[in-house]
A and B are shown apart, each in its own frame.
Chain A
Amino acid sequence: MTIKTILAGATLALGLATGVAAQDTTTVGFVYVGPVGDGGWTYEHDKGRLAVEEHFGDAVDTVFVESVPEGPDAERVMTQMALNGADLIFTTSFGYMDQTVAVAEKFPDVKFEHATGYKRADNVSTYSARFYEGRAVQGHIAGEMTESNIIGYIASFPIPEVIRGINSAYIHAKEVNPDVEFKIVWAYTWFDPAKEAEAASVLIEQGADVILQHTDSTAPQAAAQSAGNVVTFGQASDMAEFGPFPRVSSIIDNWAPYYIARTQAVIDGTWESTDTWDGIAPGMVEIGEITEAVPAEVKASAEAMIEAMRSGEYNPFTGPLNKQDGSAWLAEGEVADDGTLAGMDFYVEGLAGEIPQ
C-alpha cells in the first residue's frame, strides 16, 4: 500500500466522518455587531441563540462571533462560518447587508438571514421587528404620566427605524395629552453610556419628566433615577433593574421564536427566502411589565392597546394623520402601508424641529 492510498483512505474516512456529523447536527452561526454583554441589541440576539441551543439540544450546534465591524471583516467572518459547515447564518446588523448577499452567492447551499435589511436572494431572508408598536404603548403611558408636558427623546441616528419610533410615540402621547411637547436629542450613537447620560441630564434640566430612549445603554435610566421624579422605559432589553420606578415599562426584542422557527425550517428542509416584519402579535416585540408606578387606569388602557395591536384591530399609524408641514398623509381610518413605514423620513404634524439629513 502506498502512502498515497493511505492518505486517500484517510481523507475518505475523514470526509465520511464529517458527512455523518453534518447529517446529525445542524450548525447555526450568528454574526454580532457588538459584544454579547452590551445589555441591549446584541445581548437580546444572543439570548435568541441560547434559546435555540436549549430548544434543540444536541441536534443543533451554534457558533457566534461578536463585535464584528460592518464591512469587509464581516464578509471574512461569514465566509469562515460557511466553510466550517454552518447550515444557517444570522447576520444581525443593518450594515452587514451587502456582505451577506455577497457571501450567500458563493455558498448557495447555506441559508442566510439578515436582520433589518431589504436585500434578499434565494438563500437570503430578511427579518425585523415592528418596534413602533411598542413605541405607541410608551407614548401612551408617557403622555398620561407627564406633568410638565415635556417628554425628552434620546434618538440615535436619523434612519427610518428611529423616526418611526418618534412619530409613533408622539402620536399616542398627543392622543391622551394634547399639550405634550417632544424635545429630541440626536446622540449619533447606538451605544455611548456617558453621552446618553449627558443627553438624559440635559433633557431633565430642560423640564422633561419622561425620557424615551432609542439608544442601548441603561445610562439614561440611572440619570432619571438620580433626578428622582422622571419616568423612563427600557429599550431593546427589559432593564428591569430600574423598575418599578423610574423604569415603568419596556420594549423587549424577542428573537428566540423566530430563530427557533427558522432553524426548524432548515432541519425540515422547508426553509424559503422570506421577508419577515413581525410585531407584538407573533411575540417578536414584547412589552415589559408595566409597573405599579403607573396609575391603574393608565395601565389598563395601555394593556387594552397592546391587546388591540396583538389582535390586529389597531395599527399605530391610523389616520387622520398629517405630516409635519401640514400636508395630508393618512385619511380618516386609513392605515400606513409597509413601504411608507420602511422608508419613513418625515415627522408627523405637531413635532418641532427638523430631522437631520
Chain B
Amino acid sequence: MDLSAINPVLLLASLMVAATPILLAAIGELVVERAGVLNLGVEGMMITGAVCGFVVAVNSGSPWLGFLGAAAGGAGLALIFGGLTQFLLSNQVATGLALTLFGLGLSALVGQGYIGIKAPAFPDWHIPLLGDIPIIGPIIFQHDPMVYVGLIFVAGVWAFLTYSRLGLVLRAVGENHEAAHALGYDVIKVRLAAIIFGGACAGLGGAYLSLVRVPQWTEGMTAGAGWIALAIVVFASWRPWRLLLGAYLFGGITVLQLNLQAAGSALPVEYLSMTPYLATIAVLVIMRSGRAPGALGQIFHASR
C-alpha cells in the first residue's frame, strides 16, 4: 500500500464537503425531534429539496436562489407532514415513511425535464487571509459557502437550544407537551415551526447534492443520505456538537476508505465499505449520554 499517495490536507478538506448534506439534514431533524416530533420523511424532504433547488437554480441561473427554493420545497413537504400529524393527529412514523415515498415520487415528476442539464456553477470561496494560512487554509477556509452555512446552523441551533427562551420552550414541548401546554405554550405552533425548519434544512442538504456535490439532477440521487442523517441524530443523543462530530466522522471515514482503496490498501474492500457506518455508530454509542426527548413521537391534543 502506498500511503504517501494520500494527501491529508485534501482528505480533511473533502471530509467537510462530504459531510455537509448529512449535516444540514440532521441538524434540522434534531430540532424537530427536540420538539417531540419524529419525522422519518427526511429522505423525501431532501430529494424534494434537491429537485426544487435544481429547478430554481437552472431557471434563475442563481445557485443562491436555488438554495432558497430548496428550503421552500423541503419546508412545503414538511408542512404536509405537520398538517397531518399536528392537526389530523396521524401516526408520525407512518406519515413520515409515507412522506419519504411521496417525496421520491414527486421529485421524479418535477425533475422530468431536468435530466442531463448542468447546474449553474457555485464557486468555492477562497476566504482572504484565512484561506492563505498554510495547511489550515486549504482544509477549512477554501470551501463553498454552504459548508459554512452548515456549521453556522449547528452553532446557531446549539445556542438557540441552550441559551434562548424560545429554545427552552421548544425543549419543554419536546420533553412533556402536557406540562408545556398547561404553562400556556402553544405546543402545536412550536412543533409546526420546528417541522418547517427541519424540512427547510433537509431541503438545503438535498440541494447541496444536486447543486454542489454532484452537481446535476438524477432521480433518487440522495441514495439514503436522509436515513443516515436520521441515524446520526439518534446516535448523537440529540446534541448539536455531537451531531457535527458524527457527520464529520461519517463523511471523513467515507472519504478515507475510498482513499485507502485507491492507494491499494491490503484490507478487503468489503470491510472498508463498512467502516463509515461501523465507526460512526461505535464512537457515538460509546460517547452516548442522555436520552430521547420525553414526548418524542407522541401525539398531542389539548383535550387529552
Minimum distance in angstroms from B151 CB to a CB of chain A: 19
- The answer to whether A193 touches B221 (Cβ under 8 A) is yes
Minimum distance in angstroms from B106 CB to a CB of chain A: 13
Q: List A residues 37-96 near B (Cβ within 8 Å).
A: 37-39, 43
- The answer to whether B269 touches A222 (Cβ under 8 A) is no
A193-B269 contact, Cβ under 8 Å, with A185-B261, A199-B258, A222-B216 = no
- The answer to whether A206 touches B259 (Cβ under 8 A) is yes
Stretch at the interface among B126-134, B187-195, B207-215: B207-215
Instruction: Say yes or no for B31: interface residue by CB 8 A criterion.
Output: no
- The answer to whether B10 touches A241 (Cβ under 8 A) is no
- The answer to whether B220 touches A217 (Cβ under 8 A) is no
In the complex the two chains form, what is the Cα distance from A39 to B214 in whole Å? 14
In the complex the two chains form, what is the Cα distance from A356 to B271 in whole Å? 10
A198-B262 contact, Cβ under 8 Å, with A205-B10, A217-B218, A356-B269 = no
A195-B223 contact, Cβ under 8 Å, with A37-B108, A206-B262 = yes
In the complex the two chains form, what is the Cα distance from A202 to B15 in whole Å? 11
Chain A, residue nearest B13 (CB): A205
- The answer to whether A202 touches B273 (Cβ under 8 A) is no
Q: List B residues 268-303 near A (Cβ within 8 Å).
A: 268-270, 273
Chain A, residue nearest B261 (CB): A185
- The answer to whether B223 touches A193 (Cβ under 8 A) is yes
- The answer to whether B221 touches A218 (Cβ under 8 A) is no
Residues of A within 8 A of B94 (CB): none
In the complex the two chains form, what is the Cα distance from A242 to B261 in whole Å? 27
Inter-chain CB contacts under 8 Å: number: 109
Instruction: Say yes or no for B88: interface residue by CB 8 A criterion.
Output: no
Residues of A within 8 A of B11 (CB): 205
Instruction: Say yes or no for B111: interface residue by CB 8 A criterion.
Output: yes
In the complex the two chains form, what is the Cα distance from A15 to B61 in whole Å? 57
In the complex the two chains form, what is the Cα distance from A183 to B220 in whole Å? 28
Instruction: Say yes or no for A189: interface residue by CB 8 A criterion.
Output: yes
| B221 partner, pick from A186, A194, A208, beta carbons under 8 A | A194
Q: What sequence of 0s and 1s flags, for each residue 199-243 of chain A, a beta carbon within 8 Å of any chain B beta carbon?
A: 101110111100000000111001000000000000000000100
Residues of B within 8 A of A203 (CB): 262
- The answer to whether A194 touches B223 (Cβ under 8 A) is yes
Instruction: Say yes or no for A334: interface residue by CB 8 A criterion.
Output: no
Minimum distance in angstroms from B8 CB to a CB of chain A: 11
| A192 partner, pick from B116, B219, B223, beta carbons under 8 A | B223
- The answer to whether B268 touches A356 (Cβ under 8 A) is yes
In the complex the two chains form, what is the Cα distance from A206 to B2 in whole Å? 10
A152-B262 contact, Cβ under 8 Å, with A39-B115, A217-B218 = yes
Residues of A within 8 A of B254 (CB): 195, 198
- The answer to whether B215 touches A183 (Cβ under 8 A) is no
What are 11 A-to-B residue pairs whose CB atoms are below 8 Å? A37-B219, A184-B262, A186-B261, A188-B269, A193-B216, A194-B221, A198-B255, A202-B259, A205-B14, A206-B6, A206-B259
Chain A residues in the interface with B (C-beta under 8 A): 34-35, 37-39, 43, 152, 183-186, 188-189, 191-195, 197-199, 201-203, 205-208, 217-219, 222, 241, 352-354, 356-357
In the complex the two chains form, what is the Cα distance from A203 to B219 in whole Å? 25
- The answer to whether B219 touches A35 (Cβ under 8 A) is yes
A194-B209 contact, Cβ under 8 Å, with A37-B111, A206-B6 = yes
Minimum distance in angstroms from A237 CB to a CB of chain B: 8
Total contacting residues, chain B, CB less than 8 A: 39
Residues of A within 8 A of B214 (CB): 193-194, 197, 217-219, 222
Minimum distance in angstroms from A153 CB to a CB of chain B: 9
| A218 partner, pick from B213, B216, B264, B268, beta carbons under 8 A | B216
In the complex the two chains form, what is the Cα distance from A188 to B269 in whole Å? 9
| A186 partner, pick from B14, B219, B273, beta carbons under 8 A | B273
Q: List B residues 225-270 near A (Cβ within 8 Å).
A: 225, 254-255, 258-259, 261-264, 268-270
A193-B7 contact, Cβ under 8 Å, with A37-B115, A183-B262, A183-B264 = no
Residues of A within 8 A of B108 (CB): 35, 37
What are the 10 tightest A-B residue pairs by CB atom distance, in nearest-first order?
A: A35-B219, A356-B269, A192-B223, A202-B258, A193-B214, A205-B10, A183-B262, A219-B214, A186-B269, A206-B5
In the complex the two chains form, what is the Cα distance from A152 to B5 in whole Å? 13
In the complex the two chains form, what is the Cα distance from A241 to B215 in whole Å? 13
- The answer to whether B225 touches A194 (Cβ under 8 A) is yes
In the complex the two chains form, what is the Cα distance from A63 to B255 in whole Å? 42
In the complex the two chains form, what is the Cα distance from A8 to B19 in whole Å? 67
Q: What sequence of 0s and 1s flags, for each residue 108-150 of chain B, a beta carbon within 8 Å of any chain A beta carbon?
A: 1001100111100000000000000000000000000000000
In the complex the two chains form, what is the Cα distance from A23 to B5 in whole Å? 65
In the complex the two chains form, what is the Cα distance from A195 to B224 in whole Å? 11
Residues of B within 8 A of A201 (CB): 14
Chain A, residue nearest B117 (CB): A241
In the complex the two chains form, what is the Cα distance from A183 to B81 in whole Å? 46
Instruction: Say yes or no for B18: interface residue by CB 8 A criterion.
Output: yes
Residues of A within 8 A of B263 (CB): 183, 206
- The answer to whether A198 touches B225 (Cβ under 8 A) is no
- The answer to whether A184 touches B218 (Cβ under 8 A) is no
